[in-house]
Structure 1
Amino acid sequence: MTYPFPDDLVRAQRDWLATYRQLAAPRPRHTTALRRRLLHLSVQVQWHPFWSTPPGTPAARVELRRLVHRQERRGTRAA
């Protein structure tokens, strides 16, 4: 099933993943700023209005993460 994810939600999930990877790197720089950004992005994704709509099911949360991972592998940025 495909979900009608809003662009800003996809972008926040993509940014979350990129920030998480920066923190996971060996000896990352600016860890405090990265942790704050990760927390901010987590709130954006978790409380996005999309989740209060009928398509915003738990399965959609999983699909959002899968979508972002697929886009990264393909090198695309479109939602």
Structure 2
Amino acid sequence: MYSFPHDLLQAQREWYAVYGQLADRTSSSTAAQTTALRRRLHRLSVQVSTHPYWEAHTGRAPAARMALRELARS
């Protein structure tokens, strides 16, 4: 259905990994660790959302974004 560039798929997979690390934080996590993870998550969000791939899929972008998310989770 969609053929995603490797770097876009990798960035989405990393996004889920970082999000999971933030969600699984323990009380022993430091504020600096949390800040670093949040910054990384923000950078990945920008990387995914502004990827040139989306310019070619403007009309189908919502469906393509959902497909990317599903593929990255699997």
> How high is the TM-score relative to the length of structure 2?
0.85
Cα RMSD, aligned residues only: 1.6
SS of the aligned residue for 1:27 comes to: coil
Equivalence for 1:12: 11
Higher relative contact order (CA 8 A, sep 6+): 2
**Equivalent of residue 50 in structure 1, options 33, 36, 53:** 53
In the TM superposition, what whole-angstrom CA distance separates every residue of 1:37-57 from its partner, at most 9, and x where no partner exists?
Answer: 000000000000000003752
> How high is the TM-score relative to the length of structure 1?
0.80
Q: Name the % identity.
A: 54
Give 5+ residue unaligned stretches, structure 2.
Answer: none
Equivalence for 1:3: 2
Give 5+ residue unaligned stretches, structure 1.
Answer: 71-79
Higher helix share: 2
Task: Choose 1 or 2 for highest CA Rg.
Answer: 2
CA distance in 2: counterparts of 1:36 and 1:26, whole angstroms = 15
Runs of 4+ that moved beyond 6 A:
none
In the TM superposition, what whole-angstrom CA distance separates every residue of 1:17-70 from its partner, at most 9, and x where no partner exists?
Answer: 000000000427310000000000000000000000037521000000000111
Paired letter, 2:51: H
